[in-house]
Chain A
């Protein structure tokens, strides 16, 4: 089974974000493999362990994004593709999907795995766009998956349970955070990663031009999220239970 996992290198979400105008600063800041993508890598590795084949990591980003690929290779993925080009600096989700599709299509694939959304941009639109460019079916919010003879069978998380959905391969799925326990890289894995191949590609290598990657979206304005208000403290003078019940009723929770 040839499995492709999309991985993104993002500024460490545990540190306060640094902005450059309306853009998140990506260069010169501590970067990590998007924690959401670790679940995708783990899902890919588990499928490979069951069915054999190869796990390829694909990423678009500045040269420093290679670190995210290295991280996935240390966990056990086989090879990587990094698309890096100055023309991609302001890429929106549509451009990203077009570029990743071009990179993925260079080889045969059975399954593409992505996170539901990235931890930095949070648009959540890239995977669906990518599925469209690849012309494959897409299943979102996958929490459990199984490859039954070329047919993908998944449990798909919903608000109040899960759907069981099947799709022929090749297909694209998005996995939610928490579906599995991403493995830690061992020292041996880290050493082995050094020797695994990573293709570094430019737009020209993918046959794309500057026009193909002109972003259609622009961020007009950016404002900080409203600070969460301090909660209300209910002192128990004998009527606390009543007050809490009223509060919940008002919030239409009960």
Chain B
């Protein structure tokens, strides 16, 4: 057994950490207040090659692997969850479906720009009427000559309205097979007539991540924009979500680690009753628990990524990693605020933002309930 990341991964982790300290940490509070994706930061992340990490060089990537992407996401999330989810959604949800399910010409045409971080893509599965029940898709695409005609809407779509968003891949009903909906994935370029990006949501956290509602009315795209096989849209997206869950676990671990680091620092500095508060056993125990949870969550996402890398089944482990990491992230953030006392409730303190940013982790890319359903199912429990 070997629990170590490679020397190269460790070096790259160090590079991302210094980038985060130099370029992100000093600005994160202002960005959070602005509620706008800082495009300069996105450009710098692109220059670092972050958006192309897991893709082969022939598509403009750097030929690393999924774990390396997760390591980068974790490093960014120690400080800035909004930029971490921007990266996660861009690579994991925007580019990955093209890489995994696209035709050779789609990959050649679409991937290089995405891998270079010059353009972003989004992934539209959730609808106003349902996210967990992804089969509840209502958006329809009907064939008309050489085109798909799309009608419907999507909610909460990350990266769908940035100045460099190139397209959104959506799921739509394209027919019926044996009484079941046939769901197909279709690439819809931003700017297509009939495709409207709604105004940005006001969110509890992830303030400077870009999230919009999308509306399609008689929106026409060429039939060639179909991504993957007809009728496989749903299955393919579920596969993409398995990977996404490992990446969300990495993001959650980063947030929790950031909370732990801030707490350890603070209990040295702050005094009460004539002693550093870190000398009180009540806080020592809290911090020991935080550290234990962070370590366990990290070990689990490493394991899920490792299983994926060696092409073993990892669906259950990905769900466990996502479930555990997102729930401990919320716990650790809440306790970090507690350790900071009143200052923890004030926006100048990182843990305040981390607490707001943590909650979505139990919801996005599959809620905790859905994770438990998947895990229970993998144990062969009777279905409802």
Contacts and interface: CB of A to CB of B under 8 A. Distances in A.
Interface of A: 70-71, 74, 184-188, 190-191, 194
A46 to B, nearest CB: 16
A31 to B, nearest CB: 12
A191 B11 CA distance: 10
B64 A184 contact: no
Most buried by A among B12, B18, B47, B64: B12
Contacts of B47: 184
A184 B48 contact: yes
B19 to A, nearest CB: 5
B26 to A, nearest CB: 15
A186 B48 contact: yes
Contacts of B19: 184
Contacts of A194: 8
Given A184-B15, A187-B53, A194-B8, 18 more contacts: A70-B11, A71-B11, A184-B18, A184-B19, A184-B47, A185-B12, A185-B15, A186-B48, A187-B68, A188-B49, A188-B63, A190-B8, A190-B11, A190-B12, A190-B15, A191-B8, A191-B62, A191-B64
A186 B11 contact: no
A28 B47 CA distance: 34
5 pairs of A and B residues whose beta carbons are closest in the complex: A186-B49, A187-B62, A188-B62, A187-B64, A190-B8
A195 to B, nearest CB: 11
19 contacts: A184-B15, A184-B18, A184-B47, A185-B12, A186-B15, A186-B62, A187-B12, A187-B49, A187-B53, A187-B64, A188-B49, A188-B57, A188-B62, A188-B63, A190-B12, A190-B15, A191-B8, A191-B63, A194-B8
B79 to A, nearest CB: 16
Contacts of B12: 185, 187, 190
Contacts of B63: 188, 191
Contacts of A187: 8, 12, 49, 53, 62, 64, 68
What class of interface size applies to chain B in its complex with A?
10 to 19
A74 B11 contact: yes
Interface on chain B toward A: helix, strand, loop, or mixed SS? Answer: helix
**Which among B11, B53, B57 has the greatest number of chain A C-beta atoms within 10 A?**
B11
Interface string B62-80: 1110001000000000000
Interface in B28-87: 47-49, 53, 57, 62-64, 68
Contacts of B11: 70-71, 74, 185, 190
Nearest to B48: A184
Contacts of A71: 11
Q: Which one of A71, A74, A184, A187 has the highest number of Cβ atoms from chain B below 10 Å of its Cβ?
A: A187
Contacts of A190: 8, 11-12, 15
Interface in B150-207: none
A191 B8 CA distance: 7
Nearest to A74: B11
Nearest to A75: B15
Contacts of B15: 74, 184-186, 190
Interface in B195-247: none
A180 B8 CA distance: 26
A192 B384 CA distance: 54
Contacts of B53: 187
Nearest to B22: A184
A186 B45 CA distance: 10
A190 B57 CA distance: 14
B231 to A, nearest CB: 37
Nearest to B68: A187
A108 B189 CA distance: 55
A94 B231 CA distance: 74
A190 B48 CA distance: 12
A70 B12 CA distance: 12
B275 to A, nearest CB: 20
Contacts of A70: 11
Contacts of A74: 11, 15
Q: Which of A74, A184, A188, A191 has the most chain B CB within a 10 Å cutoff?
A: A184
A188 B49 CA distance: 8
Interface string B1-34: 0000000100110010011000000000000000
A184 B53 CA distance: 15
Most central of A70, A188, A190, A191 by chain B CB within 10 Å? A190
A186 B44 CA distance: 12
Nearest to B11: A190
A126 B366 CA distance: 59
